[in-house]
Amino acid sequence: MTQPFRIAIAGLGTVGTGVVEILTQNEDIITQRAGREIEIVAVSARNKDRDIDISKYRWVDNAAEIYKSEGVDAVVELIGGSEGIAADVVRNSLDNKCHVVTANKALLAHQGLALAEMAEHNGVCLMYEAAVAGGIPIIKAMREGLAANEFSSVYGILNGTCNYILTKMQKTGRDFADILQEAQDLGYAESDPTLDIEGIDAAHKLCLLASIAFGVKPDFDALKTTGITHINATDIKFADEFGYRIKLLGITRRIDDKVMQILEPCLVPTNSPLGMIDDVYNAVYVEGNFVETPLFTGKGAGKGPTASSVVADIIDLARGKNIPTFGIPVNKLVEGQWIDVGETTSRYYLRIMVTDKPGVIASVAAILRDNDISIEGMVQTGRDPGQSVPVVLTLHEARHADVQKAAQGIERLECCSEKPCIMRIEEL
Ligand SMILES: NC(=O)c1ccc[n+]([C@@H]2O[C@H](COP(=O)([O-])OP(=O)(O)OC[C@H]3O[C@@H](n4cnc5c(N)ncnc54)[C@H](OP(=O)(O)O)[C@@H]3O)[C@@H](O)[C@H]2O)c1
């Protein structure tokens, strides 16, 4: 009879509780699929007083030592954070030849390479399906299901909170701050939403996808990140009129032997695969040279979807699967030759706030012309002589650095009342 696969869980919050519940409720089917029983032998959290029954499991006060629990095959780290106790749990476990399953994108984005090396050195696996796009099995899809392909780009809507806010702004016409408050009241956004709305959480995930897609060492610091706090109801409305939705997009692309990785709000066609992803849903759109363009979508967070991915990793380990952390052995990963974002080209959306008076548009057009940028279209709705009004321009393909320089020039005009808003237009 095959021995049970023994796990210890550090962290019994939203995801940790979900993992215990799935392993309990779906025990029979999971045992059949794993080919052996999965046994929780130990758990740890800050506080012993829990909503779920943990009386059958050994309690460990110091999570960093949970790997010492008798006969543990894998430690499941569900505490979170790029440093501190979560990092200690993972490092100690790998160092002591325990497999690790984690949902911790921050830890992986900052320390993934060193941890992957540690896992390989010790002959164990570091699994993190739940760290990227919650319930969507995108790590498995890219490392296994699509392993035959050379990837040219990956686009992702990777943060449910931002997608919820942008969708609600679009549907209600209300402004960012208002919808953020509502998202916090509904529990879709944290009380400190910085990691989400500044794009950092999504950027953590994107740098892991870039590594798998292009065989580069994950490098969070090489990633340019812009959040959604500067998007207002006017942008949403104009984008809509032009036939676009605004989405916080992670984009990684290979151009020759260089790789681009950026995370920023972009306009995508309303009826495109990513334009139709609304509310808290995540999506990843992959371009592979044989598979073409599969789209993966589903819930990117929450107890059930995230725990489902954690348990899938546990089942894979129980089956004896061993897949390199980033799809290829660590010594084959190369330093990314990162593309300077300034050199990339795209069509652009440009919203400026300018005083409604004669000659203003001519001054703006002159700045664009001087920076080698041609205007595709322009909209100014309504008139309010002497007051600040929004003017929105769409620009033909232009260099990012030129568009930024032009925006700075426009901002310096006396008639301009606030920093222009620039967004790429991505035709998917
Ligand atoms: N929630 C989601 O939808 C989601 C989605 C994708 C990925 N993730 C990732 O999953 C991980 C867990 O997230 P979560 O939402 O489940 O977090 P959470 O609800 O805040 O739970 C964190 C757990 O860690 C425990 N903990 C904190 N400090 C500890 C310490 N020093 N020693 C032992 N335990 C400690 C807490 O104990 P107490 O309960 O006793 O305070 C709690 O049980 C994070 O890496 C997160 O980024 C979450």
- Contact (CB, 8 A) for 319 and 351: no
| Residues 226 and 147 occupy one common structural domain | yes
Q: Is the pLDDT assigned to residue 310 strictly greater than 90?
A: yes
- CA distances to 162, 354, 385 from 358, in Å: 38, 11, 9
The domain that holds 35 is classified in CATH as 3.40.50.720
Q: Report CA torsion sign: 261, 266, 268, 270.
A: positive
| Residues 164 and 31 occupy one common structural domain | no
| Residues 226 and 156 occupy one common structural domain | yes
Q: Is residue 153 domain-resident?
A: yes
Whether 46 is in the pocket of ligand 1, judged by its Cβ within 6 Å, is yes
| Residues 97 and 145 occupy one common structural domain | no
Mutation choice for ligand 1 from 21, 69, 79, CB with most ligand atoms inside 8 A: 79
Whether 85 is in the pocket of ligand 1, judged by its Cβ within 6 Å, is yes
Percent of the chain clearing pLDDT 70 (strictly above): 100
Q: Is residue 325 domain-resident?
A: no
User: For ligand 1, atom 35, which residue shows the shortest CA distance?
Assistant: 45
Q: What is the pLDDT of residues 113-154, one digit of tens each?
A: 999 999 999 999 999 999 999 999 999 999 999 999 999 999
Other beta carbons less than 10 A from residue 348's beta carbon: 25
| Residues 28 and 83 occupy one common structural domain | yes
303 is catalytic: no
For residue 84, the ligand 1 atom closest to its alpha carbon is 31
Whether 15 is in the pocket of ligand 1, judged by its Cβ within 6 Å, is yes
User: For ligand 1, atom 34, which residue shows the shortest CA distance?
Assistant: 45
Residue with token string 């686009």: 155
| Residues 165 and 276 occupy one common structural domain | yes
Q: For position 1, what pLDDT does the model report?
A: 60
User: For ligand 1, atom 30, which residue shows the shortest CA distance?
Assistant: 46
- Contact (CB, 8 A) for 190 and 84: no
Reported confidence tier of residue 386, pLDDT bands at 50, 70, 90: confident
| Residues 87 and 229 occupy one common structural domain | no
| Residues 362 and 414 occupy one common structural domain | yes
Whether 103 is in the pocket of ligand 1, judged by its Cβ within 6 Å, is yes
Closest C-alpha to 324, from 75, 43, 26, 116? 116
Whether 79 is in the pocket of ligand 1, judged by its Cβ within 6 Å, is yes
| Residues 164 and 285 occupy one common structural domain | yes
Q: What is the pLDDT of residues 249-294, one digit of tens each?
A: 999 999 999 999 999 999 999 999 999 999 999 999 999 999 999 9
The domain that holds 417 is classified in CATH as 3.30.70.260
Distance 95 CA to ligand 1 centre (A): 22
The rounded distance, in Å, linking the Cα atoms of 146 and 140 is 9
Of 104, 134, 164, the residue that ends a domain is 134
Of 246, 273, 299, the residue that ends a domain is 299
Q: Is residue 184 domain-resident?
A: yes
| Residues 288 and 187 occupy one common structural domain | yes
Q: Is the pLDDT assigned to residue 385 strictly greater than 70?
A: yes
Question: Hey, what are 247's tokens?
Answer: 């989405």
Of 243, 270, 299, the residue that ends a domain is 299
Q: Is residue 327 domain-resident?
A: no
Residues 367-396 have a mean pLDDT of 91
For residue 46, the ligand 1 atom closest to its alpha carbon is 40
| Residues 106 and 201 occupy one common structural domain | no
Distance 292 CA to ligand 1 centre (A): 37
Closest C-alpha to 210, from 200, 195, 223, 197? 223
Whether 331 is in the pocket of ligand 1, judged by its Cβ within 6 Å, is no
For residue 17, the ligand 1 atom closest to its alpha carbon is 16
| Residues 85 and 129 occupy one common structural domain | yes
The domain tally of the chain equals: 3
Q: Is residue 329 domain-resident?
A: no
Q: Is residue 334 domain-resident?
A: no
Q: Which domain holds residue 274?
A: 138-299
Residues near 148 by Cβ (< 8 Å), separated by ≥ 6? 290, 291
Q: For position 65, what pLDDT does the model report?
A: 98
Residue ranges of E strands in 275-327:
281-288, 295-299
Which of 140, 205, 247, 299 is catalytic? The answer is 205
Question: Hey, what are 220's tokens?
Answer: 């969070």
The rounded distance, in Å, linking the Cα atoms of 289 and 152 is 7
User: For ligand 1, atom 8, which residue shows the shortest CA distance?
Assistant: 103
Distance 179 CA to ligand 1 centre (A): 25
| 3-state SS, one letter per residue, for 355-399 | ECCCCHHHHHHHHHHHCCCCEEEEECCCCCCCCEEEEEEEEEEEE
User: For ligand 1, atom 38, which residue shows the shortest CA distance?
Assistant: 46
- Whether pTM exceeds 0.85: yes
Q: Is residue 210 domain-resident?
A: yes
Q: Is the pLDDT assigned to residue 56 strictly greater than 70?
A: yes
Q: Is residue 144 domain-resident?
A: yes
Whether 16 is in the pocket of ligand 1, judged by its Cβ within 6 Å, is yes
